Amino acid sequence: MSAALGVPWGERFFVVCSDVHGSAKAWRRLEAYLGGASFLLHCGDLFYHGPRNPLPEGYDPKGLGELVRSAPVPVVLVRGNCDAPVDQLMSSPRVMVDRFAFWWDRLTGIAAHGDDFSSFRQEALAGGFRLALSGHTHVASVVREGDTVFVNPGSLSLPKGKDPASFGVVASSAVFIVNLDGEVIHSEPL
């Protein structure tokens, strides 16, 4: 991935995405960037498009379930506000969790969907996490608050705001927001 994009994030990285909302087409585009990733972290709203969103291009929840189950890297799924208990069955054997705290390459992190961002923000700051990963807004952003970097990778299928469909790359030294054409649109050192 790093060689393909010409970005110096080194050999160790993982990918973070959110708000696929049932688009198998968007997931397939993302898979092209997973080579060499340690894992993929999805921050919620995997299958259902939600009552306020249009159907995304390539909407195919069943096909998306098959792609998630056969992903080329380990996948961690965080439950979103549009994820229902039946989605657990669609993603099986992958398990959906409400929070995911992790230690990766000397970085501590926590992930949630972000629909209660105020509580999540307090939790991340109080816990001293270096990374706080969330989705929900469909707007890509990287914001530093003290020693914590808050990352929202945007949406793979239904982006809002000024940025196109995007995902995140977390490396040891920096975090990047990348569009589905492989262009870095935001970055922040860690």
Q: What is the pTM of this model?
A: 0.93
Question: How does pLDDT run across 163-187, given as a tens digit for each residue?
Answer: 999 999 999 889 999 999 999 999 9
Cα separation, 174 vs 86, in Å, equals 36
Q: Say if CB 23 and CB 42 are below 8 A apart.
A: no
User: What is the pLDDT confidence band of residue 10, given thresholds at 50, 70 and 90?
Assistant: low
ω into 8 cis (within 30 of 0): no
Cα separation, 116 vs 8, in Å, equals 34
Pairing of strands 13-17, 40-42: parallel
Cα separation, 77 vs 112, in Å, equals 10
Asked whether residue 40 carries a pLDDT value surpassing 90, the answer given is yes
Distances (CA, A) of 36 to 29, 40, 119: 16, 11, 33
Output the six-digit token pair for 136. Answer: 């929900």
- Show me where the domains of the chain are located: 2-189
User: What is the pLDDT confidence band of residue 154, given thresholds at 50, 70 and 90?
Assistant: very high
The verdict on domain 2-189 having CATH code 3.40.50.200 is no
